[in-house]
Amino acid sequence: MSDDLRKIIHVDMDAFYASVEQRDNPELRGKPVVVGGRPDSRGVVATCSYEARKYGIHSAMPCARAYRLCPSTIFVLPRFAVYRQVSQQIRDIFFSHTDLVEPLSLDEAYLDVTKNKQDIQSATWVAQKIREEIRTRTGLTASAGVSYNKFLAKIASDVQKPDGLTVVTPEQAEAFIASLPIRRFHGVGRVTERKMLALGIHNGADLYLHSLEELQHYFGKSGQYFYTIARGVDLRPVTPNRIRKSIGKETTLGDDIADVGQMLTIIGDLAEKVAAALQHKQTSGLTLTLKVKYADFQIVTRSISGESPIETAEEILSLAEKLLKKRRLETGLYGCWG
């Protein structure tokens, strides 16, 4: 479908984890709050309340540094199960408007509302309704951007954060992009930004002045993207995510082993990797499968379901140990696990 016919919304919750914590504990409201590690640990800030941002605290900063910037900050450990539950509530709201929902993380999604289930003509009105429904159902605020493509909708959602709604119409797009600092363009990291600045490209207007050939020369494959985006064109469709059914890690051992302790050490390493992958995808498992390949190449798999969602390396290891012992898989573990 051509670009100017679509109606795209990007929704992003405000200070997501921190807002959930402030919602559930009134003592945290109006105060600098960091969700992440403890201030005396080597942990990092997952996110922080807008009150904390005034002190320069931000995501991925070491907690110790956040503490030095603002010693009265309240540090809270994350409660992923609650965040996932809220995420499901907001997704239900999105799906009540359209099936074309592309979640980017727990708190963020693109929606294509060109056609929508409630037959609302104005995408701005749909976005406003969604924000109100989120507030009513979850007690939290979300910001939204509305435009005719993903690129513009995403940048727009950031313009009036927190609790903001920004619309970029096709008529406004040119001026909006022209004044946009180059680092705000999706795909421009620190390295590309430096390169752009060295070429005298500070904003969208500067980018617009360069030919496709020049941009391809300087930025390779991304050149085409920068060229089209400077003209407000982004034809990427909103693609509902395929639901990933399993996450696994495996290793092949150089030598056969028969010692259970040794097997558990190896499984422990794999469990760490799976837990990290789960954390990265912000998800958890219901069933754990242990796969063993014997010296004669015979493969045996055994599964067990947890009483609660499986997410930490300890949980994975303890279930794997049960499987290993119960099924007597230990005779000659050769070493695959998923």
Tell me how many residues contact Mg ion (CB under 5 A).
4
Please answer whether residues 78 and 37 qualify as being in contact, where contact means their C-beta atoms are separated by less than 8 angstroms.
no
Nearer to ligand DCP, 151 or 337 (CB): 151
- In this chain, which of 3, 6, 11, 12 binds ligand DCP, going by CB under 6 A? 12
Q: Does 16 bind ligand DCP (CB under 6 A)?
A: yes
| Residues whose CB falls within 8 Å of the CB of residue 98, separated by 6 or more in sequence, listed in order | 111, 112, 113, 115, 116, 117
Shortest spacing between CB 277 and ligand DCP, in angstroms:
15
60 binds, options ligand DCP, Mg ion, none, Cβ within 5 to 8 A by partner type: ligand DCP
Burial pattern 215-238, b for ≥16 Cβ within 10 A else e, equals bbebbeeebebbbbbbebbbeeeb
48-67: contacts with ligand DCP (CB under 6 A): 59-60
User: What's the rounded Cα separation, in Å, for the pair 170 and 168?
Assistant: 7
Q: Using the rule CB under 6 A, which residue among 108, 112, 133, 311 binds ligand DCP? A: 108
Candidate list 8, 9, 12, 113; residue touching Mg ion; CB under 5 A = 12
Provide the residue count of the chain: 338
Spell out where 82-130 has E strands.
101-105, 108-112
| Nearest by Cα to 111 from 79, 153, 77 | 153
Task: Mark 146-185 with x for binding to ligand DCP (rule: CB under 6 A) and - for no binding.
Answer: ---------------xx-----------------------
Angle between helices 16-24 and 80-95 (to 10 degrees): 110
Q: Does 192 bind ligand DCP (CB under 6 A)?
A: no
Measured from the CB atom, is 11 or 292 closer to Mg ion? 11
Q: What is the largest CA-CA distance in the chain?
A: 70
Which among 21, 108, 133, 315 is annotated as catalytic?
108
Residue whose tokens read 């509530």:
89
Residue 47 interaction partner, one of Mg ion, ligand DCP, none, beta carbon < 5-8 Å per kind = ligand DCP
Among 8, 15, 126, 144, binds ligand DCP (CB under 6 A): 15
Active site residue 307: no
Q: How far apart are CA 64 and CA 100, in angstroms?
A: 41
Residues at the interface with Mg ion (CB under 5 A):
12-13, 16, 107
Residues at the interface with ligand DCP (CB under 6 A):
12-17, 46-47, 59-60, 105, 107-108, 161-162
Catalytic residues: 108
